[in-house]
């Protein structure tokens, strides 16, 4: 598989995916021979296995499934992309107004947490394949993908967040919340995290545990720890559990979208976001990856991602958790830092 092959898939309008798992160098490539649209997460029970690309909220966009695609595996090419901090944006009036509305809804007790997302358009000067391989090099601890279908358009991301992975005898998920820039490349000590980030991470952990216990059995839970995602650090709790394979679609529907990307209470938060957030999330904060309830499933939350608008323009998306103590400047800066996962790549300068 070469960059020319990938560019050929793009120019011919094929449905395809490239992906690389965290801490691996094998890249998987698959051109879809059968693409189906599913109306809801519950419809995962209708398929045997395949690559799944799901939106943030059901009802607006379909879940896209590549059914039983034949995958080709090759080694991630060795590259040394130039990295630099992207120029900072000024806070927009739109973000200020939406931040105030989201924080007020949390402060008045309507929600315990909300996630506010925004978009940013940027110009690129490299091919999608080049950006994918540069992201693989720059984000070794993330799930990196390039996905294209006629229904969704073309997307690329480097996400650090697992939704669920493993087989039903032992599955794994993570509560990943809180964001801090690494100082001089060093992970912050656990004591460096402030109360806001700790509370945010606990909200996600408690939610995951409550949903899993309704369908399966918790095997183990770790204490929060600092983990790296490119140039950023997050708080992570690992959760191991088991579940009956017939209940896996139900569990995925119960988990998604988690409070890490949405809010609590969940259904009310989805409605609030859809009604008050100017950014059209589409497949941002959805989930994607390999689904196979009878073997191994590996699904990730679609974060640190972007969508192609045209050959030279992409739309990036990022969000942050809003709590009563959230501050405008720090929340804006968090979205800036998250977008820089991709915009610091050479392709954006």
| pLDDT greater than 80 at residue 338 | yes
- Identify which has the larger pLDDT, 184 or 19: 19
Please give the average per-residue pLDDT across 249-260, as a whole number: 96
- The answer as to whether 84 is a domain residue is no
Q: Considering the chain, what percentage of its residues have pLDDT values greater than 70?
A: 100
- The answer as to whether 86 is a domain residue is no
- Per the structure block, which two tokens stand in for 132? 């994918």
- The answer as to whether 154 is a domain residue is yes
- The answer as to whether 83 is a domain residue is no
- The answer as to whether 120 is a domain residue is yes
264-287: pLDDT as tens digits: 999 999 999 999 999 999 999 999
Residue 185 pLDDT class (50, 70, 90 cuts): confident
CATH number for position 319: 3.60.120.10
| pLDDT greater than 80 at residue 134 | yes
Instruction: Read off the pTM.
Output: 0.96
Region at 115 (left for phi over 0; alpha for psi -120 to 50; beta for the rest): beta
For 102, the 3-state DSSP assignment is: helix
Q: Measure the CA–CA gap between 262 and 204, rounded to whole angstroms.
A: 10
- The answer as to whether 312 is a domain residue is yes
- The answer as to whether 127 is a domain residue is yes
DSSP string, 73-101: EEEPPP----B-PPPPPPPPHHHHHHHHH
273 phi and psi angles, rounded to 5 deg: -60, -45
3-state SS of the chain: helix, strand, coil percent to 5? 30, 35, 35
**The sheet that has 263-264: what strands, in order across it?**
71-75, 26-31, 16-20, 143-149, 153-159, 305-310, 313-322, 113-123, 263-264
For residue 210, the enclosing domain spans 3-78+91-348
330 phi and psi angles, rounded to 5 deg: -70, -35
Q: What is the pLDDT of residue 349?
A: 67
| pLDDT greater than 70 at residue 160 | yes
What's the Cα-to-Cα distance from 134 to each of 97, 156, 219, rounded to whole Å? 35, 12, 37
- The answer as to whether 129 is a domain residue is yes
Please give the average per-residue pLDDT across 235-241, as a whole number: 97
Q: How many domains does the chain have?
A: 1
Helix (H) or strand (E) holding 287: strand 287-292
Residue 153 pLDDT class (50, 70, 90 cuts): very high
């Amino acid at each position: 598989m070469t960059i020319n092959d990938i560019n050929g898939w793009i120019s011919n309008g094929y449905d395809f995916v490239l992906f690389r798992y965290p801490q691996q160098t094998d890249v998987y490539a698959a051109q879809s021979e059968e693409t189906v649209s599913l109306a809801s997460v519950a419809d995962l029970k209708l398929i045997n296995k395949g690559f799944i690309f799901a939106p943030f909220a059901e009802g607006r966009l379909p879940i896209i499934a590549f059914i039983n695609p034949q995958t080709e595996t090759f080694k991630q090419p060795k590259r040394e992309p130039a990295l630099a901090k992207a120029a900072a944006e000024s806070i927009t009036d739109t973000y200020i107004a939406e931040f105030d509305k989201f924080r007020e809804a949390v402060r008045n007790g309507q929600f315990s947490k909300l996630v506010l997302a925004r978009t940013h358009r940027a110009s690129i000067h490299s091919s999608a394949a080049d950006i994918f391989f540069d992201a693989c090099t720059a984000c070794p601890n993330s799930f990196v993908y390039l996905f294209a279908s006629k229904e969704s358009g073309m997307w690329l991301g480097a996400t650090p967040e697992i939704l669920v992975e493993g087989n039903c005898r032992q599955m794994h998920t993570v509560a990943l919340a809180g964001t801090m820039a690494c100082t001089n490349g060093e992970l912050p000590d656990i004591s460096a995290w402030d109360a806001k980030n700790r509370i945010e991470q606990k909200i996600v952990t408690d939610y995951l545990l409550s949903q899993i216990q309704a369908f399966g059995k918790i095997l183990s839970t770790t204490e929060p720890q600092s983990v790296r995602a490119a140039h950023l650090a997050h708080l992570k709790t690992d959760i191991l559990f088991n579940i009956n394979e017939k209940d896996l679609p139900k569990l995925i529907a119960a988990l998604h979208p988690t409070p890490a990307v949405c809010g609590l209470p969940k259904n009310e938060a989805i409605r609030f976001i859809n009604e008050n957030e100017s950014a059209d999330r589409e497949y941002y904060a959805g989930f994607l990856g390999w689904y196979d309830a009878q073997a191994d499933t590996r699904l990730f939350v679609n974060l640190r991602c972007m969508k192609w608008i045209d050959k030279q323009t992409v739309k990036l998306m990022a969000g942050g958790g809003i709590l009563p103590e959230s501050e405008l400047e720090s929340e804006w800066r968090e979205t800036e830092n998250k977008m820089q996962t991709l915009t610091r790549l050479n392709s954006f300068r």
